[in-house]
Amino acid sequence: MVAAWLLARELPLVMAFGPVFRGAGLVMVLGGVALIGWSALWFWRKKTTIEPHHAPTNLIVEGPYRFSRNPIYLGMAAIMTGWVVWLGALGPILLPVAFVAIINRRFIRAEEASLIAAFGDEGRRYLQSTRRWL
């Protein structure tokens, strides 16, 4: 988010967005925060770790996890995208795409392998029946 702010300030390229986009950006940020909160609540309810590199003890398939295997990362991407839209500059427009690519490579692949290791066929079925993002 700091990189987006610096790019918008130092290399805006085009100031492309107006007040409507500021409102849309704010809605995206707030929606992302709400999605993260809702998702984190399920970790608490299921009494399992929210830490990406720790072994899960329960498979969460309820709440936002019915629609996305990664609603917390989806919320983070929404926050990042909303922030870029709110800034109104074209310079940082690719940062949310880079964020998703990095999260996929650095965290999600390992987490999916961890689900299969911990839950076997039940984990595989969940991975096959629920989309990674949306």
pLDDT of 24 reads 94
57 within a domain of the structure (yes/no): yes
pLDDT of 123 reads 97
**Are 4 and 95 spatial neighbours (Cβ–Cβ below 8 Å)?**
yes
Token pair of 27 as six digits:
């809605």
**pTM score, whole prediction:** 0.91
pLDDT of 65 reads 98
pLDDT of 20 reads 87
88 within a domain of the structure (yes/no): yes
22 within a domain of the structure (yes/no): no
5 within a domain of the structure (yes/no): no
**Are 59 and 112 spatial neighbours (Cβ–Cβ below 8 Å)?**
no
Cα–Cα distance, 75 to 71 (Å, whole number): 6
28 within a domain of the structure (yes/no): no
Residues in the chain: 134
Three-state secondary structure string covering 26-56: HHHHHHHHHHHHHHHHHHHHHCCCCCCCCCC
**Which range of residues forms the domain containing residue 91?**
42-134
pLDDT of 121 reads 97
50 within a domain of the structure (yes/no): yes
**Are 85 and 28 spatial neighbours (Cβ–Cβ below 8 Å)?**
yes
Number of domains in the chain: 1
Residues in the chain predicted with pLDDT less than 50, given as ranges, are: none
For residue 109, what is the enclosing H or E element? helix 109-129
CATH number of the domain within which 82 lies: 1.20.120.1630
pLDDT of 13 reads 79
117 within a domain of the structure (yes/no): yes
13 within a domain of the structure (yes/no): no
pLDDT of 27 reads 97
Which residues contact residue 94 at a Cβ distance below 8 angstroms, ignoring those fewer than 6 apart? none
